[in-house]
Amino acid sequence: MGRAAARLIMLLILLLTVPAWALPGEVAPSGSGEVREGTTEVDPPRSAQPTPDDSTEPPAPTVTALPSSVADAPRTASGALRMPPIPAGFNSFDSGWVHFVYHPSSRERVQPLIAQADAVRHELVERLGFPALTQVRVEIARTPGEMATFAPAGAPYPDYAAGVAYSELGLVLLSLTPVHPGTDQDLGEVFRHELAHVALHDAANGQPIPRWFNEGFAVLASGETSFVRMRTMLMANVGGSLIPLRDIERSFPSDETQAQVAYAEAVDVVRFLVRREDVHRFHALIQHLRDGEAFDKAVFAAYGVELATLELEWRDDVSRRYTFWPILLSGTGFWVIALSVFVWAWRRRRRRDRLTLQRWAREEAAEDVQRARLAARSEAARVHIVLARGAEAPATQVPAALLEVEVPRVEHDGQWHTLH
């Protein structure tokens, strides 16, 4: 096969086998059913704040190429922020632990979030092993520009995020429309992601948590999957460009390529920590954080090894998973390879048959030429003898007297016999 066909087959193998060999986690339950009853009210306008009903739409935030959730849980000093008032003209839905705020025109888009809120909370509490999400407000904006006006005064705001979590306040901001026009956005996935940030903060009693741990847990708990992230891990492992965890403890790199690697690493490290056989250790880690221990000491107390040693074990796990061998040896990969071999053999046989038919055609054409030459030679050697036709001899006339001569006969015992 040509190089183009080989690349196509390899891409097909990667697409079909990614879920089998590098899936980061399970999807959180989406929930279903009708919207639960709550209290709906219209609050007075914010003071000195532009209202969403103004004719002038707030300018959209600057778009960057970094992942949308790299800094969607900005750190703030304890007690430095205040919960902002509810925007004018917005409805509120109170279902106990969560308070939804949305524009009346967005009701149909918000109903699925209300329906799945309890299921998401239950799943997060089970993952963390401790109570969380006791009081949360979720404000849903219609556009990213409108969402920027909902941020608390003086709070850091990521311009490129589709959602933001201010965990210290229990405040989550969401946008119904994506930051990048024309791109797909799963609002339920963003909702689960931001709630995971708040839940982790609550479970750890607000203790400092490394940036990579916070982001990795949020992605894992939300059920986000990304082929780009898997490819990033594969290329970083093969190319030896994995970033040490200490370098992404407080922030991610400003370089786009390095930020993508840091983001993918964060998800994969947390996946390594919350493996099924280590769930009790992960819960112990949260317990030690709740007790006020530093993250490094909490890791040692829960897993029995230093964080640096745990990182080495994770890198060894990455070197086994993010290679081409799991692709080739997986069940899906086997069938893809088998199909590729079948197609290759079919094409090879078809080409061989085509060559055979062409050879037969050439042989038949040569035989036809030989027959034509032999026919021409025999035609040239043939002698034609033409006889001239002479005068025809007159027909012999039998005299009528001879025709009338009677043949002699004799009678014997009453019968006549001809004499010869």
Among the listed residues 225, 208, 250, the one whose alpha carbon sits nearest the alpha carbon of residue 71: 250
CB atoms within 10 A of CB 67: 22
CB atoms within 10 A of CB 43: 14
Residue 381, pLDDT score: 63
Is residue 39 assigned to a domain?
yes
Q: How far apart are the first and last CA of the chain?
A: 100
Residue 7 pLDDT > 80: no
406/164 Cα distance (integer angstroms): 144
Residues above pLDDT 90, as percent of the chain: 32
Is residue 330 assigned to a domain?
no
- Determine the Cα angle at 354 with ends 352 and 355, to 5°: 65
pLDDT of 10-63, one tens digit each? 555 555 544 444 443 333 333 434 443 444 443 443 333 444 444 344 443 333
Residue 100, pLDDT score: 96
Confidence of residue 70 (pLDDT cuts 50, 70, 90): very low
25/44 Cα distance (integer angstroms): 43
195/122 Cα distance (integer angstroms): 11
pLDDT of 340-383, one tens digit each? 777 877 787 778 778 878 877 887 788 788 778 777 777 666 65
**Number of domains within the chain:** 1
Who has greater pLDDT, 363 or 126? 126
Query: 308 is in which domain, residue-wise?
Result: 23-45+64-321
For residue 183, give both structure tokens. Answer: 């791109």
145 contacts: CB under 8 Å, gap ≥ 6: 57, 58, 59, 60, 61
Is residue 348 assigned to a domain?
no
| Helix or strand (DSSP H, E) at 337 | helix 331-381
Residues above pLDDT 70, as percent of the chain: 67
327/136 Cα distance (integer angstroms): 42
Angle of helix 307-321 relative to helix 227-239, nearest 10 degrees, comes to 100
Is residue 167 assigned to a domain?
yes
| Helix or strand (DSSP H, E) at 53 | none
Is residue 234 assigned to a domain?
yes
224/186 Cα distance (integer angstroms): 10
326/339 Cα distance (integer angstroms): 18
Is residue 350 assigned to a domain?
no
For residue 283, give both structure tokens. Answer: 């819960």
187/222 Cα distance (integer angstroms): 11
User: How do strand 163-166 and strand 171-175 relate by DSSP bridges?
Assistant: antiparallel
Residue 384, pLDDT score: 57
* φ, ψ of residue 7 in degrees (nearest 5): -65, -40
Angle of helix 187-203 relative to helix 211-222, nearest 10 degrees, comes to 130
The sheet carrying 98-102 orders its strands as 91-94, 98-102, 136-141, 171-175, 163-166
Who has greater pLDDT, 205 or 23? 205
For every residue of 155-202, DSSP letters joined together read: ----TT-SEEEETTTTEEEEESS-SSTT----HHHHHHHHHHHHHHHH
- Residues facing residue 164 across a β-bridge: 173
Confidence of residue 154 (pLDDT cuts 50, 70, 90): confident
| Helix or strand (DSSP H, E) at 93 | strand 91-94
DSSP state of 89: T
CB-CB contact of 274 with 127 (8 Å): yes
Residue 134, pLDDT score: 93
Q: Is 132 helix (H, G, I), strand (E, B) or coil?
A: coil
Return mean pLDDT, the chain: 76
For residue 330, give both structure tokens. Answer: 């997986």
Q: Is 163 exposed, middle or buried (0-12, 13-18, 19+ CB in 10 A)?
A: buried
CB-CB contact of 67 with 263 (8 Å): yes
Residue 357, pLDDT score: 80
Is residue 306 assigned to a domain?
yes
Q: Is 382 helix (H, G, I), strand (E, B) or coil?
A: coil
Residue 326 pLDDT > 80: no
CATH number at residue 41: 3.40.30.160
- Determine the Cα angle at 224 with ends 297 and 70, to 5°: 60
Residue 174, pLDDT score: 94
Is residue 55 assigned to a domain?
no
